[in-house]
Amino acid sequence: MNKSKSLGVALASVLLGGGALALAGFALASATPHQSALNCVPSQSSPNTCTLTLSTFPDSLAGVHGKGGGPHPDWVSYSNDNLVVPANTTVNVTIDQYDSGGSLNNSFFDQVMGTVGGTATIDGKVVTSVDPTNVGHTFTLRGIPGSGKNIFVSVPLPADSNTKQVTIGEGQYTTPVVVQFSFKTGSKGVYEWNCEFPCGGSREGQFGEAMSTYGYMSGTLTVN
């Protein structure tokens, strides 16, 4: 084979192979299991403020995961794992907590941390911490590593001990504990949040299963 033909084969190898790889890559990239984005609703009254409304459920039957609760109907879940908020904004968060609870494994998380004023409002009452023996979930948000600002927001969500029945989607729950708090976003980027009260299946630490799966107890907060 002369040199120019060899060169042609070499180029063809790169182009063909690269094309095949790109195809494989795009197929992989579309395997992202995120739900559709929940955008922060801008406030009518205050500038640079918006509202996010979430729920936490004891299973996946509330409707977000499709009919029958998706592949893991018995897993606890947040109502959305793909939160989108603007930069340099005060985000008002309302979480309706429908799940029961228990004792925190790490009492560090019974405190409200990183919110505006260092407080949260639980069923109308302003608190800085909750009873660590009666927690359902937490909402723990961490910042972008190395961006110069360490954002750390953690709010414990008490267990729901109400009795009045409520139906959402295919799930039967009781009226929720309503938790409200605010935090300020910084620069653009993707922040990670998850619940820090583990209840996944394995014996050592229980951060497997729902805890480590987007769409259940972990998600992202995109600031743009």
Partner 1 sequence: MTTTLEHTTTDAAPLGGGLARRQNMATALVGGVLFAWLFWFLAHHFLDASSRNYSDLVSVSLTIGWIIGFWLGIGALNAPARWMMGRDNTHADDMYLAGQNQGKARYWKYCTDHKVVGVQYIIMTMVLLGAGGILAMAIRTELIVPGNHFVDQQVYNGFIAVHGLLMILALIVAVAGPWGNFVVPIMCGARDMAFPRLNALSLWTLVGAAGLLLTTLAVGSLSMGWVVLEPIANQAGVGMDFFAMAVVVFTVSTTVAGVNTICTVLTMRTKGMTLARLPIFVWGAIIAAALGLYAFPYFALVEAQTIMDRTFNTSFFVASGGGTGWLQANLFWLMGHPEVYVILLPAVAALFEIASVMARKPVFSYRTAIAGMTGLAGLSILVWAHHMFTTGWAPTLGGPFMLTTELISIPTGLFFLVLIGTLWRGNIWMKLPTIWMFGFIANFIIAGVTGIYLSDIPIDNQLHGTMFVTAHFHYVFVGSVLFGAVAALAFWYPKVTGRFLNEFQGRIAFWLAFIGVQVTFLSMFLSGLRGMPRRYSSYALIFEHTNFITTVGAYMIMAGMLVLLGAVITSWNKGEPAGPNPWHANSLEWMVPTPPPLENFTVLPVITEDPYNYGEELVRS
Partner 2 sequence: MTTSNKKNPYRGMFLTWLVLTIAGVIVSIYAPSRLMPRSMSDNMHLTVLTMIVFSVAAAPVAAGIYAFAIHALRHWTHKGEAVPAAGPVVRENAVVVTTWLLVSTLLTVFLLIWGLGALAVDNGSSSKNPLVVDVTGQQWVWSFSYPGTHVQSNELYLPVGREVEFRVTSDDITHGFWIANMGVQVDANAGTWTTIHTTPNQLGTFDIRCTQFCGLNHAFMVTQGHVVTAQQFTTWLDSQPQRA
Q: Which is nearer to partner 2, 101 or 171 (CB)?
A: 101
Where on the chain is the footprint of partner 2 (CB under 8 A)?
A: 105-108, 111, 113-114, 128-129, 140, 142, 144-146, 150, 152, 154, 191-192, 194, 196, 198, 204-208, 211-212, 218
**Does residue 95 contact residue 196 with C-beta atoms inside 8 Å?**
no
- Which span (88-96, 158-166, 167-175, 194-202) binds partner 1, by CB under 8 A? 194-202
Q: How far apart are CA 105 and CA 201, in angstroms?
A: 15
Task: Find the binder of partner 1 among 9, 37, 87, 126 (CB under 8 A).
Answer: 9
Closest CA to 140 of 28, 27, 217: 217
Q: Which is nearer to partner 1, 36 or 165 (CB)?
A: 36
Q: How many residues bind partner 1 (CB under 8 A)?
A: 42
Count how many residues are written for the chain: 224
CB of 71 to partner 2, least distance (A): 17
**Does residue 157 contact residue 97 with C-beta atoms inside 8 Å?**
yes
Q: Which two tokens stand for residue 57?
A: 């459920």
**Does residue 212 contact residue 195 with C-beta atoms inside 8 Å?**
no
Q: How far apart are CA 219 and CA 195, in angstroms?
A: 9
CB of 196 to partner 2, least distance (A): 6
| Residue 6 sits in the site that holds partner 1 (CB under 8 A) | yes
Binders of partner 1 among residues 21 to 50 (CB under 8 A) are: 21, 24-25, 28-29, 31-34
Binders of partner 1 among residues 162 to 191 (CB under 8 A) are: 189-190
33 binds, among partner 1, partner 2, none (CB under 5 to 8 A by kind): partner 1
Residues contacting 100, CB < 8 A, separation 6+: 58, 136, 159, 160, 161
**Does residue 105 contact residue 197 with C-beta atoms inside 8 Å?**
yes
- List, as one string, the DSSP characters of 153-209: EEEEEE-----SEEEETTEEEEPPEEEEEEEE--SSEEEEEE-SS---S-SSSS-SG
224 binds, among partner 1, partner 2, none (CB under 5 to 8 A by kind): none
CB of 80 to partner 2, least distance (A): 17
Enumerate binding residues for partner 1 (CB under 8 A).
Answer: 1, 3, 6-7, 9-10, 12-14, 16-18, 21, 24-25, 28-29, 31-34, 144-147, 189-190, 192, 200-209, 212-214, 220
